[in-house]
Amino acid sequence: MTQPTNTRGNGERTMVTTSGRPTLRHLRSKPRTAAFLAAATASALALAVSGCSAGVVDVGAHPNVSVPQPGALVTGSPSAGPTASSPTCNTAALSLRPTAGDATSASVNSIRQRGKLVVGVAQDEYLTGYLNASGQETGFDVDIAKQVEQAIFGNQDPSHIQFRAVTNAERITALQTSDPAQAVDMVVDTFTITCERAQQIQFSSVYYNAYQKLLVLKNSGYKSLDDLGGKKVCAQMGSTSLQKVTTYKSHPIAYGVTNLTDCLVALQQGQVDAISTDDTILAGLAEQDPNTVVVGPQLEPEPYGIAVSSANTDLIRFINGVLATIRGNGTWQHIYSTSLQPALGPQQPPAAQYAD
C-alpha cells in the first residue's frame, strides 16, 4: 500500500507517504470534470463524518501514551557478549615488573620530547571518566592517568596531557593504529583485563577490582539478583553483565541499552527495576540520583588495568612503577576517596602481582 511519492523542491528528496489516504485532498485540488459534483458531495459527507469522530473526545478516557523507550527487552542468551577470562591465564599477574631505568627508557623519553602524553579515556562515565561542565576531564581513571603524567613531566599541567575520548570498541584500535589523529599512548577507561585482550595489547598491574553489582531504588527492598525474578534488569547490550542477567537462576527479564546512562533514564521512568554492571559505573549513576543505591554481593571480579600497545614493554614497566608508588604513598587512597568511595565504601588498592 505504500506509494513512492512526491519529490519536493527541486526533486532531490523522495519520500514515502502513509498508505490508504482518503481521496478528499486530491479532489480538493482537482475541482474539474463531471466528477466534481460527486466530489463535493463526498467532501461534505467526509467533513460531516470526520467532524463527528474528531470533534468529541471520550469523557473520562485515559488513553495510553507510548513514551520513548531507551532500550529493548532481550530474550535468550546474548551471543555477542565478550568471552570471560580464560582459566588458562591469571589476569592479575600478566604484567611486567618495574625496573630502575624505566623513567629514562626510549618510550618514556619520546613522550617527554613530544611534550604531551596522549591518553584514551571515556568522556561519558561519571566518576571514572567524564568531561565535566567546564570542559575538563574528571574521574577516577583520569586521576590515575594524571599520576603517570606527573611521573613523566614532574607536575600536572593541562598542556602536558591530552585526553582523547575512545568508545569501548576503540580502546584496542586506538593503541594499535598508526594514524596520529587517532593514536593514544595509553588507555585508562574501566578496561577489564582479559587473557584474550592481553594477546593484542599489554595491561599494567591491576589498579582496581570492579565487581558486577546492582543499582536499585532505595525503598525497593531488592538486595540481589535473587530478588529480581520476573523483574526487568537493565544492562548494556553485548556485555557480560547482560549475559549474567539473562542466564541467572531467578530468571530476571533482561533489558538492553546501547549506553549505560540510558539505564538510569529507564530506572527513573519506571521502565526497569534495577541496573546491573560494574560497580564503578553504578557508583557514577548512583551519584546522579540520591534515591538509588548500589547493592549486591561481589560476583566475579573485573580487574581494571592501564593498557598500552604490545610493543611498548618499557612504558608498561614504567606505568607499573607509577602504580606501585601511588599504592604505597596514599595517593591511590586519596583518589578513590574523592571519587568512588562515597558510593562504594572504603577499599584498599589491589596488591600488585607480576608475570616476571
Mutual orientation of helices 313-328 and 106-114 as an angle, nearest 10°? Answer: 80
Q: Identify which of residues 177 and 313 has a Cβ nearer to another protein in the complex.
A: 177
Specify the stretch interacting with another protein by CB under 8 A; choose among 116-124, 311-319, 335-343, 346-354: 116-124
Q: Which is nearer to another protein, 47 or 355 (CB)?
A: 47
DSSP conformational letter for 192: B
Q: What is the dihedral of CA 273, 279, 282, 284, to 10 degrees?
A: 170
User: If binding is defined by CB under 8 A, does position 67 make contact with another protein?
Assistant: yes
Q: How many residues bind another protein (CB under 8 A)?
A: 68
Instruction: Please choose, from the candidates 56, 16, 69, the residue with its C-alpha nearest in 3D space to the C-alpha of residue 257.
Output: 69
24 contributes a contact to another protein by CB under 8 A: yes
Question: Looking at beta carbons only, is 83 or 132 nearer to another protein?
Answer: 132
Contact with another protein (CB under 8 A) among 70, 78, 98, 321: 70
How many whole angstroms separate alpha carbon 73 and alpha carbon 276?
A: 14
Residue 90, all three cell numbers: 591469571
Site residues for another protein, window 131-190 (CB under 8 A)?
A: 131-136, 162-167, 169-170, 181-182
From CA 331, how far away is CA 245, in angstroms rounded? 36
Closer CB to another protein, 22 or 330, in the complex: 22
Question: For another protein, what does the binding mask look like between residues 295 and 334, x meaning CB under 8 A?
Answer: ----------------------------------------
Does residue 200 belong to the site contacting another protein (CB under 8 A)? no
288 near another protein, rule: CB under 8 A: yes
Does residue 265 interact with another protein by CB under 8 A?
A: yes
Q: How far apart are CA 291 and CA 305, in angstroms?
A: 31
**115 counts as binding another protein under rule CB under 8 A:** no
Residue 30 CB, shortest distance to another protein, in Å, is 6
Q: Does 349 bind another protein (CB under 8 A)?
A: no
Instruction: For residue 17, give Cα distances in angstroms to 12, 46, 327.
Output: 16, 21, 64
Give the CA dihedral 164, 239, 228, 251, nearest 10 degrees: 170
Binding another protein by CB under 8 A: which of 262, 273, 278, 302?
A: 262
AA identity, residue 174: A
Sign of torsion, CA 182 186 188 193?
positive
4 is a site residue for another protein (CB under 8 A): no
Q: Is 80 in the site for another protein (CB under 8 A)?
A: no
Buried b / exposed e over 78-102, threshold 16 CB at 10 Å, is beebeeebeeebebbebbbebeeeb
Alpha carbon separation from 175 to 98, 164, 214, 318, 331 (Å, rounded): 21, 12, 32, 17, 27
Residue of 9, 60, 76, 115 that binds another protein (CB under 8 A): 9
| Shortest CB 167 distance to another protein, Å | 4
Q: CA torsion, points 253, 258, 264, 268, in degrees to nearest 10?
A: -70
- List residues binding another protein (CB under 8 A): 5-6, 8-10, 12-13, 15, 17-18, 20-22, 24-26, 28-32, 34, 36-37, 40, 43, 46-47, 50, 54, 65, 67-68, 70, 120, 123-126, 130-136, 162-167, 169-170, 181-182, 258-259, 261-262, 264-265, 268, 284-285, 287-289
